[in-house]
Amino acid sequence: MKLSQIFAEKRPTLSFEVFPPKTSDTYDSVKFAAEKIASLKPDFMSVTYGAGGGTSKYTADIAEDILTKHDVTPLAHLTCVSSDKKTVENTLFSLKDKKIENILALRGDIPSGFENENREYKYASQLVSDIKKYGDFCVGGACYPEGHPEDLSVADGIKHLKEKVDAGCEFLTTQMFFDNNILYSFLYKIREVGITVPIVAGIMPVTNGKQIKRICSLSGTYLPQRFKSIVDRFGDKPSAMKQAGIAYATEQIIDLFANGVNAVHVYSMNKPDVAEKIQQNLSEIILKKD
Ligand code: FAD
């Protein structure tokens, strides 16, 4: 099923994310985690794409598994910065072959020292238009409520986001955020410039306090004091941190649904127990699929 059809139902939806293994050694354990998450029957599941494209085959294989064995709609991520048009074309044929209908089109992070000005893809919007040419995929893109580190300004970031949507994005998934007001203010700004596609709010249930502080200081993600206090108090106690992180994410999600943000995507990081707990916490709020 196309995600555009799911979003058109305008009901609260919950989706989960898995990332493929870097090497074949861990393929089975990732596949097992993905299948456990799929057995929860989320509205859809995304499968990320390894930076540099090294795990592209695994992305397609895991997405296919989710679809064929669990009848859960997959969203395959695809990056382009380290790729060329021929490789993208082959990947699209393979995805089509596997009956995968949804793609999150991304530029990918530019590897350090990679300054090839002649590369075929510089921005995700180019990949979006190419995918639209090659078949009947529902295509989404990434967006950044706190801005992308390379944006020249907030307005510049939103201008390029609009170009990406105009190239064919039918929905946008956000980078994680820990303060919903940041998303609400971003929604206001993008709606003002005419970006009207569904926004899928990306929520990260934090289970490792130290790791998240490091990631957020690198990416510039704002950590509200209420969240920092949780990490300071429980960061050294893994099971307490997990419980508090799931509770914080649940509260964020309830507030989003209450304020009309229907699509929530949980960065479940190959953790079926975290996905399951969040789903249980929302069982009376999300409408179950048959
Ligand atoms: P773009 O949309 O191309 O934007 C990148 C920067 O370029 C922005 O600053 C933008 O304003 C600017 N820009 C865009 N167009 C122009 C233009 N015409 N002229 C000048 N500047 C321009 N990475 C992976 O490797 N694998 C994944 O599976 C993955 N999944 C992700 C999922 C989500 C929801 C998010 C938010 C990110 C994900 N990423 C993933 C990370 C992503 O690849 C990086 O954040 C990357 O740096 C930017 O990708 P993008 O698609 O947002 O790029």
Rounded percentage of the chain residues whose pLDDT exceeds 70 = 97
234 CA to centre of ligand 1 in angstroms = 33
CA distance 133 to 126: 11
| CATH code for the domain in which residue 147 is found | 3.20.20.220
* Residue 211, pLDDT score: 84
As a whole number of angstroms, the distance between CA 168 and CA 73 comes to 20
Q: Residue 108 C-alpha to ligand 1 middle, in angstroms?
A: 6
Ligand 1 atom 41, closest CA: 108
* pLDDT tens readout for residues 59-76: 999 999 999 999 999 999
Question: Ligand 1, from 148, 176, 265: best to mutate by most atoms within 8 Å of Cβ?
Answer: 148
Distance from C-alpha of 94 to C-alpha of 52, rounded to nearest angstrom: 18
pLDDT tens by residue, 165-220: 999 999 999 999 999 999 999 999 999 999 999 999 999 999 998 888 888 888 88
Q: Residue 164 falls within a domain, yes or no?
A: yes
CB 73 within 8 A of CB 6: yes
| Whether the complex's predicted ipTM surpasses the cut of 0.95 | yes
Q: What is the pTM of this model?
A: 0.97
221: containing domain? 3-281
pLDDT at 54: 61
Asked if 17 is an active-site residue, the reply is yes
Q: Which atom of ligand 1 is nearest to the CA of 148?
A: 9
> Which residue's CA is the nearest one to ligand 1's atom 22?
160
Whether 288 maps to a domain, the answer reads no
Q: Which of 9, 17, 64, 276 is catalytic?
A: 17
Residue 287 is assigned to a structural domain of this protein: no
Confidence (pLDDT) at 274? 98
Does residue 290 lie within any of the structural domains?
A: no
DSSP secondary structure string for all residues of the chain? --HHHHHHT-S-EEEEEE---SSGGGHHHHHHHHHHHHTT--SEEEE---GGGTTHHHHHHHHHHHHHHH---EEEEEE-TT--HHHHHHHHHHHHHTT--EEEEE--PPPTT---TT-S-SSHHHHHHHHHHTSS-EEEEEE-TT--TT-SSHHHHHHHHHHHHHTT-SEEEEPP-S-HHHHHHHHHHHHHTT--S-EEEEE-----HHHHHHHHHHHT----HHHHHHHHHHTT-HHHHHHHHHHHHHHHHHHHHHTT--EEEE--TT-HHHHHHHHHHTTTTSPPP-
Is 252 contained in some domain?
A: yes
The answer to whether residue 289 is domain-embedded is no
CA of 90 to the centre of ligand 1 (A): 22
The ligand 1 atom at the shortest distance from the C-alpha of residue 19 is 28
For residue 286, is it within any domain?
no
- In the chain, how many domains are there? 1
Determine if ligand 1 sits within 6 Å of the CB of residue 124.
yes
